[in-house]
Structure formats: C-alpha cells, structure tokens
Amino acid sequence: MQLSDIDFLIIGAAKSATTWLQQSLQQNPSVYMPDPELHFFSRNFEKGDGWYLEQFAPKSEQAIVGEKSNSYLDAPEAAARIKKALPHARLIAQLRNPVDRAYSDYCMLYRRGEVGTDITSYLDPRQAKGGRFLVGGLYCRQLEAYLDLYPAENLQVLLYEHMRQSPQAHLDAVRDFLQLPSPLHPVFNKVKDKTVPVVPPKLRRLLQPLKPIAAPFRGNAIVKGLRSMVARELDYVPLPTDLRNRLVEFYAPETERLGALLKQDLSGWLQAAAGSARPAA
C-alpha cells in the first residue's frame, strides 16, 4: 500500500451523514474504506505515513481506496498536507445546514458527557466564537482552502438536505464522480439513534478515568448488566428560538458566499426559527 493508492477522501462536514455515505460506499465491491476515522492529516499527522498506510488493507486490483475523516474540512493545516501527499485525490464534502449541524454536534458531545447543559455558552456566537461548534459550519472558507490547491473537478460538494430528499440520486452523483463501475445503493440502517439508552453524562464524566481499565471487559455480561441498570434515554437540551436566530444571523454571510461559490440557492438554511428545535440526527 502506498500513498498513491489512495484515490479519494471524504473530508466532512461532521454531523452531515458522512457515515451513511461511507457505509453506502463500503457496500460496493469496487470500493475499499477502513471503518475508523483516521484523522491523519489533521490530528494524527505526527504518527507518520507508515502509521497511516498501516490502517488500510492491501490494495486489490479492482478497488478504489478512500477514507473518511470529518476533521479534514475544518482543520486549517489539513488541505496543504493532503495536497502534498495525495496531489491527485478526489475529495468529497457533504454539507448540512450549519445551524442544525452545530446543534447536532453539541448533542453528540452532550451524549458523551463532554459538554454541559448550558447550551448558550457553546453555541451563542457572542460567547463561543472560535469553538468547534461554530467553526464547523464555516464551509465557504474551508472549501476555498482546498480550491486554492486542487482544480474544481477534484472536489464534489454534496448537500445533506438533497440526500434526505433523494438518497439514490445523491449516490448516483457520487458514483459518477468516483467513476465506479457499478451502482451505489443507500444503506437504510440508522447510523446513530438518539433514543438508545446511554450512561447519563454526569456519571459518564465521573467514570471517564476508569474507561481504559474497563475497555477490555466491555463485552462481559456482568458489565453489560451494570450498564443497563444505569443507562437511560437522554433528555436533550432544546435549541431556543432566540439562539437559533442568532446562529442564522452568524452564518448568513458565509452561507451567501457559499451559495455563490456553488451556484446553489441556500436561502433555506437562513430561515428564522418559529419555535424551539429538538435534537437533529
């Protein structure tokens, strides 16, 4: 396996159904992708090319090879690193309404016990500028970093909303972009289910130091039984109307620039809220 064997990357965005896209690609016999997000060109670059290539199975003759790491879109250093290592790679970015994306990202970390219930401190643009939740939706400047290095034909930009409306047409476009010899078919299993009981966030934080010790016993029946005793369905903090509207205002200039770049009408992303939002997938 060599760097030149890697044909494409899904670079983001987080919480935009890129796992669904990856799983749909993995069903195709002409595609090989490792399951974990490697985050090599963003968070694990110091591990070196050898480590990165070890994460892939040997390349077969018929397969095109790719990987998905959502951090590549918003990590400032990733684009130049990717261009140097993979100068001819095809890049796929799947984007979602940035307000919904930010809220979904917050809910994910809340579920993990990594953030608290004070949603305003994480999502209010007046308080949280520069944080991951807001930066993750600044798509135009992120895509421009790649377009400064790659020709436009190497970058496919997809919209989450189009995927929800017509998953097969969405995948047909991906098939054409990657020049696959056989069709892609959508997976219909739910990738992540917010109704699945989890260990409450406060307890999860308390138990975090014990995680490395408990990891080898995760499949143990006793451990599973103990977990089932404390796990419950979470009540997520709703996104208040006024906070949603501040997010819409924050993302409006970037969204208008993105629409011009993509030659698409993205005004639907800038709808003011009529009521509180519940967690999005």
* Amino acid making up residue 5: D
- Cα–Cα distance measured from residue 255 to residue 274, given in angstroms and rounded to the nearest whole number: 20
**pTM for the whole structure:** 0.83
What the block records as the tokens of 281 is 């997938």
Q: Are 236 and 105 in contact (CB under 8 A)?
A: no
Q: Per-residue pLDDT for the chain (281 aa), expressed as one digit of tens each? A: 899 999 999 999 999 999 999 999 999 999 999 998 999 999 999 999 999 999 998 777 778 999 999 999 999 999 999 999 999 999 999 999 999 999 999 999 998 889 999 999 999 999 887 789 999 999 999 999 999 999 999 999 999 999 999 999 999 999 999 999 999 999 986 545 455 555 565 555 565 665 666 566 566 665 445 445 555 567 889 999 999 999 999 999 999 999 999 999 999 999 865 544 555 55
Q: What pLDDT is stored for residue 208 in this prediction?
A: 62
Is the Cβ–Cβ distance between 180 and 25 less than 8 Å?
no
Cα(69)–Cα(13) distance, integer angstroms: 9
What pLDDT was estimated at residue 275? Answer: 46
Q: How many other C-beta atoms are found inside a 10 Å radius of the C-beta of residue 46?
A: 7
For the chain, give the longest Cα–Cα distance. 56
Neighbour count for residue 98 (Cβ, 10 Å): 26
For residues 48 and 19, the answer to whether their CB atoms sit within 8 Å is no
73: Cβ contacts below 8 Å, ≥ 6 apart: 11, 12, 13, 14, 93, 136, 139, 142, 143
Burial group, residue 132, by CB count within 10 angstroms (0-12, 13-18, 19+):
middle
- Among 154, 204, 148, 200, smallest CA distance to 179 is for 154
Pairing of β 64-68 and β 6-12: parallel
Cβ-proximal residues to 50 (8 Å cutoff; 6+ apart), any chain: none
3 Cβ contact list (under 8 Å, min separation 6):
49, 52, 53, 85, 86
Sign for the CA dihedral angle at 188, 189, 193, 195 comes to positive
